[in-house]
């Protein structure tokens, strides 16, 4: 189990690294071909269309849980029936909702976007809907692979899909503009669906050529589990679109484009920790079925490692915001830099709560997760309108960050209270000093970069020195942390065992 888990962790991390590289190259290309405002249009259309995913009934999130559960009970046939039932149900429900909701989505875009951008939005809306259906189906396959503890296959499929999207975009965007981008995304969705099913049949050998089995009993079980999960999905799906709509209302499409870029780059960095951590979900599910007492120890270890990893990473990301702006956009863009710094801090808090979130998810206890998401949604909507009226797009961004951080804390607080956890090492003195060192150093680097801008130093000198300083900061903070002294011997011992068996 430990070797497979380590393999899955490395696969998830590798997948995220590749996706991040593709994202950087793609968005830089899009900025120079279609421009930031059309990128904003694309972002708003995708956000508006994603609201249709409320019809998923929580099935996508249920697949990992129930596939892992039945495989742990040696009921592989039932696990395969779970997957097919979820796929058939989701494809029909989401397809019907997308077909019916097309007029409503087209109407909504007329009231969100400025008239000059409406023609582009209406042109790519059908492609966005087809892409959503395809990627949702692929999401079922990916959940099945996670339930089988085959995140290595999941990563391979995702990496191929990411590269395909990049290569197709380079060809189609140059010729067809924004429509070409939409076409490339549809093609990527089709590739993910085909390759994902092939990979899944490799992990679950008795699956048929196409999903054909539908079991009402399993459907009810998944929907019952997914009731709270569906509430979470609805709030999550509306969370970012709400912010983008408010950014259009209190800002402009360029601001939406910069928010999209900032959110994507921060999300990909975060995914290095979270996607790797997500492979823990089926482990929690299996322990919940076999040995519930071990989940507490696994959670505490997971939380300690998470804090050790994400603290310097997010501090460095905030410190590098000006350098990212100059290297990626080509200039120091104040709005982009401000958004990156703010959402880096918010996602840092959110990521620290991921171990509690995945522990609840693996155990099938979703009540506090639902409350957490409801808090996020309410604070984001109410705060976004109120602060947007007072401070414009800056207020909307601040509300998004406050909602994200505040709602996230609810989950960890509840998990610690229910499990009587008071010794969580995240609050230990060395961890507090670690955090202060990392974020204090980040603040100093931001001030230094501003001074370099003021004296008009060379752009690439600023970028290079900032990256080097951030690397030194991270390395020094990690080196002095006590956890490093435990991790290095563990890794070396594992490598020695691997070499001894060859």
Mean pLDDT of all residues in 399-427? 82
> At how many degrees (to 10) do helices 459-480 and 482-501 cross?
80
Q: Please check whether residues 165 and 266 belong to one and the same domain.
A: no
Q: What is the pLDDT of residue 365?
A: 72
| Helix, strand, coil percent content, the chain, rounded in steps of 5 | 90, 0, 10
User: Is 355 in the same domain as 466?
Assistant: yes
Q: Are 125 and 102 in contact (CB under 8 A)?
A: yes
- Shared-domain flag, residues 462 and 418: yes
Q: Does residue 216 share a domain with residue 302?
A: no
User: Considering the chain, what is the average pLDDT of its residues?
Assistant: 82
pLDDT tens-digit map of 328-350: 998 899 999 999 999 999 999 99
Asked whether residue 206 is domain-assigned, the answer is: yes
Q: Which domain holds residue 470?
A: 251-477
My answer on whether 192 and 274 are in the same domain is no
| pLDDT at residue 330, as a whole number | 87
- Residue 256 lies inside a defined structural domain of this protein: yes
Q: What pLDDT is stored for residue 364 in this prediction?
A: 64
> What is the rounded CA–CA span in Å between residue 421 and residue 493?
30
Residue 262 shares a structural domain with residue 404: yes
Whether 88 contacts 141, CB under 8 Å? no
Q: How far is CA 213 from CA 27, 84, 242, 297, 452, in A?
A: 41, 6, 37, 39, 64
Q: 432 falls in which pLDDT band (50, 70, 90)?
A: confident
pLDDT digit string, tens, across residues 286-302: 545 455 556 666 777 77
- Same domain for 28 and 136, yes or no, is yes
Inter-residue contact 256 to 40 (CB < 8 Å): yes
Provide the pLDDT for residue 1: 46
For range 260-283, the mean pLDDT: 71
What is the structure's pLDDT at 495?
54
pLDDT-derived band at 21, boundaries 50, 70, 90? confident
Number of domains in the chain: 2
Q: State the pLDDT confidence band at 241, using cuts at 50, 70 and 90.
A: confident
Residue 485 lies in a domain: no
216 & 275 share domain: no
Locate 242 and state its tokens.
């709400």
The pLDDT of 419-435, averaged and rounded, is 71
**Residue 492: inside a domain:** no
pTM above 0.75, yes or no: yes
Q: Is the pLDDT of residue 388 over 90?
A: yes
Judged by average pLDDT, the poorest of 159-173, 226-240, 252-266 is: 226-240
């Amino acid at each position: 189990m430990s070797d497979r888990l380590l393999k899955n962790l490395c696969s998830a991390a590798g997948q995220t690294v590749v996706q991040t590289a593709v994202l950087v190259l793609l968005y830089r290309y899009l900025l120079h071909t279609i421009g930031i405002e059309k990128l904003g249009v694309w972002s708003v259309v995708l956000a508006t269309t994603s609201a249709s995913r409320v019809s998923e009934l929580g099935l996508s999130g249920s697949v990992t849980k129930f596939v892992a559960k039945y495989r742990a009970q040696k009921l592989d046939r039932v696990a395969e029936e779970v997957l097919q039932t979820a796929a058939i149900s989701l494809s029909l429900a989401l397809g019907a909702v997308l077909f019916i909701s097309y007029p409503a989505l087209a109407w909504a875009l007329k009231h969100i976007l400025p008239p000059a951008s409406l023609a582009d939005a209406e042109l790519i809306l059908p492609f966005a809907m087809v892409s959503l259906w395809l990627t949702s189906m692929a999401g079922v396959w990916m959940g099945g692979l996670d339930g089988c503890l085959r995140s290595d296959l999941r990563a391979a499929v995702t990496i191929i899909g990411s590269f395909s999207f990049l290569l197709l975009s380079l060809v189609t965007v140059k010729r067809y503009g924004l429509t070409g981008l939409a076409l490339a995304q549809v093609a990527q969705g089709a590739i993910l669906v085909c390759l994902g099913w092939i990979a899944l049949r490799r992990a679950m050998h008795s699956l048929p050529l196409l999903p054909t089995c539908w079991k009402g009993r399993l459907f009810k079980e998944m929907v019952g589990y997914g009731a709270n999960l569906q509430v979470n999905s609805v709030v999550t799906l509306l969370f970012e679109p709400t912010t983008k709509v408010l950014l259009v209302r209190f800002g402009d499409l360029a601001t939406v484009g910069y928010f999209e870029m900032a959110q994507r780059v921060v999300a990909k960095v975060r995914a290095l920790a979270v996607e790797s951590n997500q492979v823990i979900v089926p482990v929690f599910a299996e322990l919940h079925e076999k040995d519930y007492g071990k989940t507490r120890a696994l959670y505490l270890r997971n939380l300690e490692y998470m804090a050790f990893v994400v603290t310097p990473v997010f501090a460095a990301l905030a410190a590098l915001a000006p350098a990212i702006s100059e290297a990626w956009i080509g200039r120091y863009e104040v709005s982009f830099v401000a958004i990156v710094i703010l959402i880096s801090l918010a996602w840092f808090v959110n990521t620290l709560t991921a171990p509690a979130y995945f522990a609840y998810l693996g155990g099938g206890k979703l009540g506090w997760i639902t409350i957490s998401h409801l808090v996020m949604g309410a604070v984001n909507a109410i705060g976004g309108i109120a602060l947007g009226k007072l401070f414009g797009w800056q207020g909307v961004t601040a509300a998004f960050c406050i909602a994200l951080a505040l709602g996230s804390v609810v989950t960890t607080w509840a998990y610690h209270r229910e499990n009587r956890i008071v010794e969580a090492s995240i609050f230990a003195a060395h961890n507090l000093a670690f955090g202060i060192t990392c974020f204090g150093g980040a603040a100093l680097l931001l001030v230094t970069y501003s001074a370099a801008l003021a004296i008009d130093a060379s752009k690439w000198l600023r970028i290079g020195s900032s990256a080097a300083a951030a690397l030194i900061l991270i390395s020094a903070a990690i080196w002095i942390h006590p956890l490093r002294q435990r991790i290095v011997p563990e890794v070396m011992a594992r490598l020695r065992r691997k070499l001894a068996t060859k």
